[in-house]
Structure formats: C-alpha cells, structure tokens
Amino acid sequence: MKIDVISIFPEYLSPLNLSLLGKAQSAGLVDIQVHNLRDYAIGVHGSVDDTPYGGGAGMVMSPEVWAKALDSLMVEDTDLIILTPAGKQFTQPVAQEFSSRSHLIFACGRYEGIDDRIRQYYSQPEFQDRNIRVHEYSIGDYVLGGGEVASMVMIEAITRLIPGVLGNPESLSEESHNSEGYLEYPNYTKPAQWRGIDVPEILLSGNHAAIAKWRAEQAQLRAEKNR
Ligand code: SAM
C-alpha cells in the first residue's frame, strides 16, 4: 500500500517511522511519504491560506495550493481522505475497508480547514472514472489543531490490518471492535498476585473451554458497562 500524507508540518508525522509502521515500511508492506504543502505554495509570500469568504474568524487553506500538491500525487485508484471534524466518523469497519486499498492520500488541514472546492473538484465524474474516491473523515467529536494526529490515528488503525504487518495475526481475532459492539475481555500477565490483587483463578486453571466462556462473559460485561 502506498500512503501519501500532505501537511504544513511534515515533522509532526515522524512517528510514522517508528515501531510496527517502521518495520512494515522496511519490509516493503507499506510505503509512506510525507509531503510539505508549503512546497506547493503560491504567490510572492508563499502563503497557503487566505481569509474566508463571507467573513468570520480564522483563515482557510487555499484550493490551488492543495490542488498543486494533489495533482502531483493522484494516480488511478486512489482514495483521498480529507481530515475534518465535520467528516464521517472513522471506525474499525472503515479501517478494514481501507486496509485493502492500494493508494491513500491524507490531506491534513490547519486553521479553519481546506477550501471545500477541493472535495468538490476531485469528486467530479472524470476523477470517479479514474477510480479516485474522495472521503471526509473525523476521528471523533472534538476539534484538534490540525489533521496530522488524526491522519496518524487512521494510518495506524488501517495498516495494522494489512496482512504481514502484525507479528501474530491472531492478535486481531479477539480484539475490541472486531465485531459490532464487541470489547475485549480484561488481560493479565505475571505475577499471579500483584499489590494484593489476584489474577482471576479461572485463568490459572488450564481449562481452555472454561477460560473462553469466562472471557466471553467478561467481554459482554465490559460492553454493557462502558458503552
Ligand atoms: N473549523 C473547523 C470546524 O469547525 O469544523 C475546524 C478546523 S480544525 C481547527 C483544523 C484542522 O484540524 C481540520 O481542517 C482538520 O484537518 C483537523 N481536525 C481537527 N479535528 C479533527 C477531527 N476530530 N478529526 C479529523 N481531523 C480533525
């Protein structure tokens, strides 16, 4: 999978080279490129934003700057993901869907966001004919300062579902959100007693059927309590 991330703060994205994602890149499973939007800035001052039509606070990111960056990266079969708190909610099923795509572009907004004509322009039939799909996603109902952290959240959730990225793919099978409403049971490791709190005895029994039943009950209880 090829992933392009466009931001005015490319350094923000450096954690993408760590841990699982770093290894996935070294193994050739994912190719992540971060681009500085300012490289596509226009005008003598090299600005990437301007005042909003209709008035109001803040600045809006200019469409031509974004289009110059996006035109240079757009290829057949691309999903353009515009990060915005006003987007659809990003969830595990969406991560699953994107994990089988070949090319994702993440557009990280700043200020009041990106001129809406970027969404409109790349949604036109000529782009649809090239299998270019435009999405607006939010990672939750709160407002961040920029799309960088949101794009990292999405990239991490999506790429760990790509076959080969996780060392043990079985980790995925009983995870929270693996099926609708499912939250994983609580986990324990050694020692069996820690600061006066015991590991539930059933987990020490070696009785796999009983453990599976206990875990299913605990998962259910957790879902009822937390959701
Ligand atoms: N004026 C916008 C609004 O009220 O919807 C908020 C803009 S926010 C300060 C700047 C940028 O942060 C957005 O363009 C988006 O890229 C990113 N952002 C903020 N919150 C986000 C969220 N919950 N999910 C995804 N991206 C978010």
Residue with the smallest CA separation from ligand 1 atom 6 is 112
At 17 the pLDDT is 95
At 131 the pLDDT is 98
Alpha carbon separation from 106 to 43, 55, 68, 80, 129 (Å, rounded)? 24, 28, 15, 6, 20
Ligand 1 atom closest to Cα of residue 138: 24
Q: Which of 114, 137, 154 is nearest to 1 (CA)?
A: 154
DSSP-assigned beta bridge partners for residue 138:
89
**Mean pLDDT, rounded, of the chain:** 96
Pocket probe for ligand 1: among 60, 143, 149, 152, the residue whose CB has the most ligand atoms within 8 Å is 143
- 78 C-alpha vs ligand 1 centroid, how far in Å? 22
DSSP-assigned beta bridge partners for residue 49:
61
- Burial pattern 122-141, b for ≥16 Cβ within 10 A else e, equals beeeebeeeebebbbbbbee
Can you state the angle between helices 19-26 and 147-159, rounded to 10 degrees? 60
Pocket probe for ligand 1: among 12, 62, 88, 144, the residue whose CB has the most ligand atoms within 8 Å is 144
At 143 the pLDDT is 98
Ligand 1 contacts CB of residue 138 (under 6 A): yes
Q: What is the mean pLDDT of residues 51-75?
A: 98
Ligand 1 contacts CB of residue 147 (under 6 A): yes
pLDDT digits (tens, 9 = 90+) for 84-97: 999 999 999 999 99
Residue 152 near residue 16, CB atoms below 8 Å: yes
Residue 71 near residue 35, CB atoms below 8 Å: no
Ligand 1 contacts CB of residue 139 (under 6 A): yes
Q: How far apart are the C-alpha atoms of 151 and 106, rounded to whole Å?
A: 6
